[in-house]
Amino acid sequence: MFYVRYFSTLLLILLWSANDAHNFSLFDIRIDHWKINTRRDLVINTPKPRFSWKIHALDDILHRNIQQIAYQIQIYSVKLTQQDELYQWDSERIISSQSIHVAYTGHHDLLHSTFYRFRLRVWINNSVVACKWIEWIQFRTAIFNLHEYIINNTDLLWIGSTEINMNELRKEFNVSNASPVKSAIVYLSGLGYYEFYLNGNNVDPSRKLDPGWTTYEKRTLLVSFDLTANISVGMNAIGVKLGNGWYSQEQHGKETYSPPRLIFTLSILFENGDQMQVLSDQTWLGREGSIKHDSVYNGEIYDRRSDRLNWTRPAFNDSRSAWITPESLKSPINDTSVGLLVLQDMPPIRAGSDALHTEVMIDSLEYGYLNHKDLGNIKGASFADGGIIKPVDMWISDSGVQTFDLGQNIVGWCRLKFQGPSGFGTYIRHAEILVQPVVSTNHATHNLNTENLRNATASDMYILRGDRLGEVYEPSFTIHGFRYLSVFGAPNYLTTDNVECLVVHSETTLKGHFTTSNPIINQIQHNIQWGQLSNLMSVPTDCPQRDERRGWLGDAALSVDEALYNFDLIKFYLNFLNLIVDMQLPNGAIPDIVPGGGGIYPADPNWGAALPKITWQLYRHYGDRQILEDYYDHVRAYIENVRSGYNDTGLKNLFWRYGDWLPPSPFPRTNEHLTSSFAFLHNVYILLNMSQILEKKHDTDIYSLFYQQLAEEFHHVFFNTTSNYYADGMQAAQVLALALPGVVPPTIRNVVLNYLVNNINLNGNHATTGIVSMAQLYPVLSDNGYHDLALEMISLTTYPSYGYMFTNPYENATTLWELLNAPFLGPMSSRNHIMYGSIGAWFYAHLAGIDLSSEFITIRPRMASEIKKHLMTKLDCQLSTLYGLVRIAYTRDERDTLPNSILLRITIPPNTRARIIFEPLFVGGQCEKLIESDTVIWALDNTTIINHQKIEIEKNVATNLMNAYIESGQYEFQALWI
């Protein structure tokens, strides 16, 4: 059956096989980590970019073992003016299997502000001819030293107003050169937020809440646009709207922040070599536009009557509003020796379908063994809806308020269509929850509960202009985290057709898809993915709705592994690492919140862990050693800072601030010194690994010794020899000790494990852990022989558990709660926190069992034992890697004539190899037979071993694990256990 679907492809292949160069091609090309097929204007901010590509084999079954043996890259500069010299570089055929992070090695560095084109092709094994060249790809380089460029240009001003709410600025300019425009490049920044218009059009309409949030006095981001195709001969007009964003004093409490300000430079180059510039200066004009007030937390007040049509077009004439000359304001970088103006080198925040790309097949069940019935009825929206959500329910309460339920907790806003008289004011409120439990059918009193938003009003006010055909409002400079919205005093009854909501987050690509036969796990996965997207707002945030939404490092550290399995976020996190490093003190200390000045120094060690952990996880997920090199010194300095505190206190009294934050009531928090010690050891261990990879032998020696010393001290200080458990006997303390390599001596490992498991059993299999130990609990159980228990725990729906979030009488959570007992508490109870999302990494790393961090892709799906197999009989997981899609699908006992068997379908992308590890399906089980595509490839009785398709089998006699080493391609294994 498996082959039937491929029959047509198969025929094609046979017809084409005469020329095997056609059987593979290249796709998903990346330069400097930018995924080129998602960029309209590819701006490279380095003179030495690196390239990655993926090889596509037309048919994976016939074409196993596709390995690259050589590649060739060509680059040439695009000659814009007659004076330009043509630069050409050809790598020629380089014998190498490397297809990711391939360095540009031209005879000189790429020049700044230059257009280039490149193309590449590869050769694979078993083929004498290369694949076809990819089409030429154009990119341009940035002004590499943007900071100096701006400082140099003394005519370039930050403009705005301290007198009026100047949030619309405009400038007309004449392009009169006889020679054609060859390039027109803009660099701009508008703090807190901006929208950029040229000649009547928003230059990039789905780009929102730009530029990214930073500690502005340390680093302010500028964005570059290529307007070459948009500039007209004759008069042109620029319009920029400004919002307060995080530069607002109201929100940030910083006196030096606010009011909004703009810096803008446009450089036009003509074919004859002439140049012209348009700069932000006092020849611009500004006024207060239609936005009367805007705040990230408190929403927007918008008066449509103040719109001036055509204000961003040339020859605009406005007799009704006061356009005045802007002031020259201070640069946000008030001290140029500590602050930098730099290019925003990560994808922007976007709204709707432009925000999320995908490299996985969201609805495809064909490959796996799952069907829709297995998946369960997942509550909430689907990524297939393209980031646009329509209400699933609407009602009118007694007080006449119209309320909409989106069926999904989202972050963004809604487009609402109103129709009514001019001057009519409408108030729009947002909330995550209702005052009445959702199960109540009495809609009359079904109003929003905004208690948990604390001081964020999360409300927009819209004043109509009175258009006869109706008018559509959507906010520009605020963002809400909500599932429900209520509209007060609308002039018209809104149908659900008048409401359309946009999902807003940093632009990213969905790269993981994980489904199983366990509906509880599927719903948790749904809630993790939506929760994670909700907290990607140019920085990783803790929550998106209340008066907080900060870059808490603890939350970032806990979620990064999960986030990198689910989404492509390399540039996002590299930017964040820079923001962390911006705040690092000379003594190595970092604060617990980044960006902004609100963080406290030094961070609790589990919060500070974000710096080593993000660095390390980026390396593991992307295999990019450069990242370790770039941040090594910062990681080391940070760890040395914790060490200096440790030198005074020892582990016994190691500094802490939050400990194992928020264990479920009524369980107490475990020993906080132990929790901090866990982070310290964990971070030293990461540093040790980093030093090994970077071959810093001196550091490896020092930190190996130090780690051993700490491991012994940890045990010595926290192990209670009378009761045979760690610290206070909480689950958390045992989990954290067991999670650290070499801490629990082998002789008592089982004692500690048994104690932990007993404690879990005594609590009805519930975890009593806080956020730090929760991230370790499931991996510890799965790695130490208690995978069945871990599966039982994750399948629970009673309090406290993940499943309780969507199986309780009060609400069906579609994202993750901050508190496991959320419904009972008021103001401190976000419904969209990402910290518990850490478990998502266990889904990929243990349930599907994918590990990308070694020379092979390792795939070791952990198996429930035969008696607990109902908890997970089927799984289907896709993970898009830099080589292509890894896919794993299994089912237990699919072919019932063969009990105790597993069917495992695997796809391994070209240019990689994998090690598949088969686990016994019951304690003491021995593999009887391994079958691949209906051929026996290994048998216990040794009779029928066939060296089939170069699959190498190795049995681990001690563990009974079966290892299969395979080349790229598609496989269908069957393992039978006796």
Ligand X SMILES: *[C@@H]1O[C@H](CO)[C@@H](O)[C@H](O)[C@H]1NC(C)=O
Backbone angles phi and psi of 75, in degrees to 5 = -135, 140
Q: 149 or 173: whose CB is closer to ligand X?
A: 149
Question: Residue 673's closest CA among 606, 602, 750?
Answer: 606
CB atoms within 10 A of CB 845: 22
Min. distance of Cβ 548 from ligand X in angstroms?
A: 21
- The helix or strand, by DSSP H or E, that contains position 241, with its residue range, turns out to be strand 234-243
Min. distance of Cβ 308 from ligand X in angstroms?
A: 8
Q: 111 or 898: whose CB is closer to ligand X?
A: 111
Min. distance of Cβ 430 from ligand X in angstroms?
A: 31
Min. distance of Cβ 601 from ligand X in angstroms?
A: 14
End-to-end, the C-alpha distance of the chain in Å comes to: 27
Min. distance of Cβ 336 from ligand X in angstroms?
A: 9
Q: How far apart are CA 960 and CA 941, in angstroms?
A: 15
Tokens linked to 820: 């496991």
DSSP 888: E
Q: Is 532 helix (H, G, I), strand (E, B) or coil?
A: helix
Bridge partners, 44 (sequence order): 141
Q: How far apart are CA 179 and CA 175, in angstroms?
A: 10
Q: 145 or 455: whose CB is closer to ligand X?
A: 145
Q: 519 or 597: whose CB is closer to ligand X?
A: 597
Min. distance of Cβ 292 from ligand X in angstroms?
A: 22
Q: 254 or 643: whose CB is closer to ligand X?
A: 254
Asked if residues 888 and 882 have their Cβ atoms less than 8 Å apart, the reply is no
Min. distance of Cβ 335 from ligand X in angstroms?
A: 4
Min. distance of Cβ 220 from ligand X in angstroms?
A: 12
DSSP character string of 808-825: SSS---SS--SSTTGGG-
> b/e per residue, 519-553, with b = 16+ CB within 10 A?
bbbbbbbbbbbbbbbbbbbbbbbbbbbbebbbbbb
Backbone angles phi and psi of 232, in degrees to 5 = -105, 155
Tokens linked to 334: 């008030």
CA distances for 719 relative to 670, 714, 715, 723, 731, angstroms? 13, 8, 5, 9, 13
Q: 50 or 254: whose CB is closer to ligand X?
A: 254
Query: Whose structure tokens read 């520009």?
Result: 476
Q: 92 or 255: whose CB is closer to ligand X?
A: 255
Q: Is 59 helix (H, G, I), strand (E, B) or coil?
A: coil
Question: Residue 197's closest CA among 166, 220, 225?
Answer: 225
Q: CA angle at residue 948 from 943 to 953, to 5 degrees?
A: 70
Min. distance of Cβ 306 from ligand X in angstroms?
A: 14
Min. distance of Cβ 164 from ligand X in angstroms?
A: 23
Q: 36 or 235: whose CB is closer to ligand X?
A: 235
Q: 171 or 621: whose CB is closer to ligand X?
A: 171
Min. distance of Cβ 309 from ligand X in angstroms?
A: 4
Q: 338 or 444: whose CB is closer to ligand X?
A: 338
Min. distance of Cβ 149 from ligand X in angstroms?
A: 4
Q: 145 or 496: whose CB is closer to ligand X?
A: 145
Min. distance of Cβ 862 from ligand X in angstroms?
A: 50
Q: 263 or 730: whose CB is closer to ligand X?
A: 263
Q: 220 or 801: whose CB is closer to ligand X?
A: 220
Q: How far apart are CA 532 and CA 844, in angstroms?
A: 15
Query: Whose structure tokens read 């969201």?
Result: 362
Q: 75 or 269: whose CB is closer to ligand X?
A: 269
Question: Residue 839's closest CA among 811, 812, 820?
Answer: 820
Q: CA angle at residue 730 from 724 to 733, to 5 degrees?
A: 75
Radius of gyration of the chain (CA): 29
Min. distance of Cβ 339 from ligand X in angstroms?
A: 8
Question: Residue 453's closest CA among 835, 829, 836?
Answer: 829
Footprint on this chain of ligand X (rule: CB under 6 A):
145, 148-149, 152, 217, 254, 256, 309-310, 313, 334-335
Min. distance of Cβ 254 from ligand X in angstroms?
A: 5
Q: What is the 3-state secondary structure (H, E, C) of 683-731?
A: HHHHHHHHHHHCCCHHHHHHHHHHHHHHHHHHHHHHEECCCCEECCCCH
Q: 336 or 944: whose CB is closer to ligand X?
A: 336
- For residue 167, how many C-alpha atoms fall within 13 Å in the half-sphere facing its CB? 27
Looking at residue 310, its amino acid is: N
Q: 82 or 317: whose CB is closer to ligand X?
A: 317
Min. distance of Cβ 217 from ligand X in angstroms?
A: 4
- The helix or strand, by DSSP H or E, that contains position 754, with its residue range, turns out to be helix 746-762
Q: How far apart are CA 655 and CA 675, in angstroms?
A: 10
Interstrand relation of 901-918 and 857-859 (parallel, antiparallel or unpaired) = parallel
Backbone angles phi and psi of 909, in degrees to 5 = -70, 155
Q: How far apart are CA 466 and CA 463, in angstroms?
A: 9
